[in-house]
Structure 1
């Protein structure tokens, strides 16, 4: 039966797409025109502090990282959301960089910049240890990172990190940014959600906290930042720096679970779009 069907209509030039879908000129002619066009000259990138640099490296970023010193050492708490402008790129980014067994760094700003330079710091610290037979102290490590970043001031790096560790002087906490600034302190929060984290820290921070109280404070601060700041969220990770090194106390706790837990404590129950209060 198929042999008796006339398929000659397929050869008709009018068969197929309507005329308004057809190209107005020969595709090969258009292609050849593009090939023969003169290529505009490439302007040399002027680099440091230029308008080109400001436009190229204008990142739309956000995060929440915090660290504070208490009687039991240093507690570090971070969120895990990575954003690409107004889009969420990931909810499980590890924003604590393990430099060595006694030194940690946090990540805020451009993820690639933080990861590269803090891993470079780990390499330099290891070379120092092999040469001198001892680890550099926390302040020395922070100064090394500060000097490395300071050499590239104005070139568009995006780094806001906290260096936390333990040495012969005890706990040490420093903030280092892409301009080479290096500050020592007892409490820092970095990122777009830091204003909310600082509100919790300033209200509830005490030097004489137990480890459990410190963990709950860091957990609560990251939760509030993730709840109010669109650029922060995902999971919370918590590290404890102590005389024996550091310990990862909370590997990844979903902030939504904390949100449901707190609502349950308040007697609020969410059912779709309706909010009811338990009697």
Structure 2
């Protein structure tokens, strides 16, 4: 089936080159800093980048995908609540990292191909088919695309599956996969924390902890944490704002006043001294 999909739109004819070096026009006030910082100094003419921490984890009944929500243009945060987990079919989703434009157009084309696949066969595409379509696009345009993706989902043939497709078009089936700039801080954590046969609650808590740890350490990751749970029963989306995420290392608990910092009760004022 994969070999027939090129009839709809030859991969070699898709103009991926138009995504490169396209400036982004942003209306930024000149008073952004006291020195009237130039847009070039902030990298505001750079393409939108997902920055990103993305993760996919298998558990005993399915998979859980997770991501942060920060999209940046240079050092400027273009969107602090973006959704980096995109639906491909009813039962397959993809986590996107790297260039926002590249990952969006790849997702759109894969979704189109999978729709044609479903019409031809009369049944939903498997997770493996979706992942291989992403791989074909990534490999066929590896000199142009700047995006890494994680495909995850559930199907009746193989259950829950996670596939990592990094830059260049390699495809790797894994029990868990991570990507994006924040992934550098997570390999040791996940090697220690992931275990086979986790429950749904255990797996989702692991995803939350992993993304929040990357947010704490990686300047290109931030915002909220979004998760997508996919199993035989369907798909569940969850949203976790910053005040529902664990704090790490030297991070302080939120403080409301100097009384909290000093450890005094609000009803007991600190005595004044001369």
TM over 0.5: yes
How do residues 87-236 of structure 1 correspond to structure 2 at under 5 angstroms? 87-155=76-144, 157-167=145-155, 168-236=157-225
Distance across 2 between alignment mates of 1:237 and 1:173: 17
Corresponding position of 1:80: 69
Q: Which has the larger radius of gyration?
A: 1
> Are residues 235 and 268 of structure 1, via their aligned partners in 2, closer, same or farther at CA, if it must alter by over 3 Å?
closer
Alignment equivalent of 2:234, drawn from 231, 245, 264: 245
1:62 alignment partner, SS class = coil
Distance across 2 between alignment mates of 1:58 and 1:83: 9
Conserved? CA contact 1:269–1:277, under 8 Å? no
> Are residues 172 and 272 of structure 1, via their aligned partners in 2, closer, same or farther at CA, if it must alter by over 3 Å?
same
Alpha-carbon shift at residue 278 of structure 1 (Å): 7.9
Distance across 2 between alignment mates of 1:277 and 1:113: 50
Structure 1 residue ranges, 4+ long, deviating more than 3 angstroms after superposition? 56-61, 266-279
Corresponding position of 1:258: 245
Alpha-carbon shift at residue 59 of structure 1 (Å): 7.7
Alpha-carbon shift at residue 202 of structure 1 (Å): 2.2
Q: Which moved more, 1:95-104 or 1:146-155?
A: 146-155
Distance across 2 between alignment mates of 1:57 and 1:86: 10
Aligned length: 222
| TM-score (normalizing by structure 1) | 0.71
Conserved? CA contact 1:268–1:275, under 8 Å? no
Gaps of 5+ in 1: 1-46
Distance across 1 between alignment mates of 2:165 and 2:75: 26
Deviations 1:165-208 (A, max 9, x none): 11212112111234221111111110111122333322221222
Gaps of 5+ in 2: 1-15, 23-44, 266-274
Alignment equivalent of 2:255, drawn from 270, 275, 278: 270
1:215 alignment partner, SS class = helix
> Are residues 58 and 90 of structure 1, via their aligned partners in 2, closer, same or farther at CA, if it must alter by over 3 Å?
closer
2:164 alignment partner, SS class = strand
Distance across 2 between alignment mates of 1:277 and 1:192: 37
RMSD (CA atoms): 3.0
Conserved? CA contact 1:103–1:245, under 8 Å? no
